[in-house]
Every structure is written in structure tokens, then in C-alpha cells.
Amino acid sequence: MPAASKPSPRLIQPTDRGLYCAAGGFYVDPWKPVDHAVVTHAHSDHASPGCTHYLASQEGQGVLQRRLHTGASIQPLAYGKPITIRDATVSLHPAGHLLGSAQIRVEAKAQGRTRVEVVSGDYKLESAPGDDPTCTPWEPVACDRFITESTFGLPIYRWAPAHEVFADLNTWWADNQAQGRTSIVFAYALGKAQRVLAGLDASIGPIVVHGSVRKLNDAYREAGRTLPDVHLATDRPAKDFQGRALVVAPPSTRGTTWLRRFVPYSAAFASGWMAVRGQRRRMGVDRGFVVSDHADWPGLLSAIHQTGCQSVGVTHGYTAVLARYLREQGLDADEVPTRFQGEADDASADSASIAGQTENDGSPLAPDSADSAEAPEP
């Protein structure tokens, strides 16, 4: 019998602190403090505080600085620019998830040959050009091994074109206004909120945001991204907004006195999980809009195909389902362990209210810890 082929050497390996590249001596998106972290994006299940040094995309530096602390040592790197870290060459490439999100490309020698591996972080492919003006679109990066998220790694998840979703949302807002109801859209403060804001028709009425959303909007504007003018709830008397405004707020504001100032209102949730029947009822909202900053099932398969990889590591989500499907297609695919399940920003107290699912807006829904950690604006 012929000898069994040896498994291909891997540049990036899972450890108890996260994905580690021995050739470069750094971790990618570590979940514990380390000396050298290469960060895909600023959501806190990817950007852990307390690291000595961070390497991140130049586009996302402002957002990351706000999510860590003012004294964090962040080295910004332009998309596509390679740098050498010990024995590895590293470059960052657009992921289309949120402002500054990046795929991490690592090139190094292993067992005498040059090998390229890419860690995707969270990503989304555009449904059409200009689908999301709030960040640089995803682009394929050729590699030997691709470590992909699988937040929505089930065939049931297929996104409608963005323009259709936002046309529906704007019509809902106008209908609410005609009936004297304020429109409330729950969306995670970083990434999702800005994606929603960019799709709104500001001619319908005033747009109000929670303080945590406005803080991050400022970082988007500093990076040259255009968002509509917004108000804080305290900018005007409550009656100026009641029955007219659309309010974008993190899910952690549900049931708070901050929200009650907008009554009467109709509430909606913006999330990829709204594609699942029953989620709107479980969330206790009137409408669900399928707005995600992650790849759907066709997007995941397309991204993997476009890399040309022969090996796939599946993490953050429905790992077993996607890995099994890829093996059936003839690819070498395995599950990569992670502490996080990746549509919310991070795990937080909100998770109990989302039907026990995890949404790092992986599998099954985790909310944005930054939302719950920050007190609602007074």
C-alpha cells in the first residue's frame, strides 16, 4: 500500500490564546493579552484589550483606538502593503465587514517551501457595487489555506440585495410616521448601526442615534466615510422626535427609560438572524430587517472558491456544517476552535434575550458587549 501523505504544514495554529503564527511570533485576534497582536477588526471578540502592541489596518485605526483605550500601541498598515515580521511576510486586505476590517495574509516557509495562509476575520461580499459605502469592499486573496468565519454557515441564509432591504425599511419608517409612531431600529453600535444609517432616506424625517453610535460615527467620518446628519435624543425636546424620527440604538436600550421618551413607537431589529422565522417574535419587535455584515451561505462558498485554496479552516459559527460540506466537495476542511461564536459585536448580557443564540453582528446569536457595557446616554 502507498504511504499515507503527510498533512500540509500550517503557518497558523490554534492555541489557548488564539491563532498563533510561530514564524512571525504574533497572534491573530487573540482572546487573551499577548505581546504582539494582529487584529482583523475592532469588534471586541477580535480585538482583545491589554495587548502590548497591535497591528491593524490604517482605515480602522480610529475605530480600534476608541474600542481599546487611548494609550494602546497601534501600528496602522495600509491595505495591501506587505511588512516583514521575523520570518513571516504579513499584509492586510479588505474584508467588507465594517470600517477597517481586514483579512490577514501570512507568507512564510514551511518544510522548505513558501506557503500562504489567510485568516478572514469576519467578512461580507457585496451583493452589488456600492452595496455598503461604509467600508472598503471585500477582495479575494489567493492562498494555500483559508481560515474562514461561518457565522451564517447554513444554506438557509441568503441575503436579499441591500437596496431592496433598505427600500423596505424606509417605507416602514414613512408608514410609521403617517400613523404618528416613532421608528426604532435596534442595531449593534459598531458596523451594523453605520450600515443602517447609510441606507436611510434622510428626507423622510429626523434621524436620532444613541450616544454609543454617535461616538463611532465620528470615527467613520474621520476616515472619510459619509453618513447622514443625526441627532442625540437630548438635542431637542422629546416632542420634536416623537412620531417623526427614526432612532438607531443598540439592543441594550430595550426596556430602558432612554427609549421610553420616544413613545408611541414601533420597533425593529436589523440582523441577519431575522432571516429565521420566529426570531422577530423572540426579540419582541414589530419588524425584522435582514441586514448583516457577514457573508451568507453563497457568499462563504464564493469567497472560499475565489481564494483558490485547497485547505480550509472553519471557525466562528456553524463550523461542523460548513466543514462537512466542503469535505464533500473535495476540499481539505477542518474546524478551528475559538472562544467566540461570532452576528453581534461581542458576547454580553444581551445574549440571554436573543433566544440563546449568538450573533457577532458564530453560530447560533451574541450581541455587542460594548453596547451593554456603556450606559445609555442621559
Model pLDDT for residues 260-293, shown as the tens digit of each residue: 999 999 999 999 999 998 888 888 899 999 999 9
pLDDT of the residue at 315: 97
pLDDT of the residue at 87: 98
Q: Which residue has the cell 491589554?
A: 50
Tell me how far apart the alpha carbons of residues 336 and 314 are, in angstroms, rounded to a whole number. Answer: 6
Tell me how far apart the alpha carbons of residues 141 and 119 are, in angstroms, rounded to a whole number. Answer: 10
The predicted model scores a pTM of 0.89
C-alpha atoms less than 13 angstroms from C-alpha of 290 in its C-beta half-sphere: 18
Would you place residue 97 in the very low, low, confident or very high pLDDT band (cuts 50, 70, 90)? very high
pLDDT of the residue at 39: 98
Would you place residue 127 in the very low, low, confident or very high pLDDT band (cuts 50, 70, 90)? confident
Task: Tally Cβ neighbours within 10 Å of residue 112.
Answer: 6
